[in-house]
Structure 1
């Protein structure tokens, strides 16, 4: 249903460094950079073609846009080890802990996820729905 998703960030270099370290845990990589007069962005994905996840920053003076309350992005993980690797990589790259890897049986019996907050305040999750 969703073709791609973009998040506004304050510092594109900081965000590139963060996501370059985190996304490989989920089998994704930086696939494309945009460097336009008023906007810079990077796209990440798992398969050839257009990236599915983007981070971008405007080249204008002033504060970055506020992170919308309740915003949450959940990335699909191939298995529980990928969820664990995502969490470790994100924390090592400067994310804040928002719920370590583990089962969340209140969603369903095999819901295994980890939650972090990226350097811009975006709430991120890696989730696997498969049994152990």
Structure 2
């Protein structure tokens, strides 16, 4: 259903460090990183899509998070949710909700929420 998600960032080099650390905890692999184009993308190992891409906006304008927009990344375990959340905060992200069960979504929904260095909101979740 989803081909890719593109998250706009102001400082690509800083975002690459941040997201590389978060994606490593989720066992995602970098598919490409092109500093001259200011963009990079990750996928699940052995999967061509969906892609999670970060980069400078193509129109050359400033990147700005949207109100009500959020990207949720799937983790293979609750421990991976915990690890990704911790790494995001260590890398300078800000908390939007500590890891834990969210039974109002469904009984096994375990998630954590944070904002990246540009204010984009992300969720890391496990449904097991």
TM-score for both structures, normalised by structure 1: 0.87
Could you say which structure has the larger radius of gyration?
A: 1
Q: Deviations over 1:25-59 (max 9, x none)?
A: 111132202345xx420111122336610001158
Q: Cα distance, 1:65 vs. partner?
A: 3.0
TM-align CA RMSD? 1.9
**Contact map agreement 1:9 1:57 (CA 8 A) in 2:** yes
How far, CA to CA, are the matches of 2:126 and 2:71 in structure 1?
14
TM-score for both structures, normalised by structure 2: 0.90
How far, CA to CA, are the matches of 1:121 and 1:91 in structure 2?
13
Structure 1 residues not aligned, in runs of 5+: none
Structure 2 residues not aligned, in runs of 5+: none
Of the three residues 76, 99, 109, the one matched with 1:78 is 76
Figure out how many residues of one structure are paired with residues of the other and give that number.
127
Instruction: Flag as ranges the 4+ runs of structure 1 deviating above 6 A.
Output: none
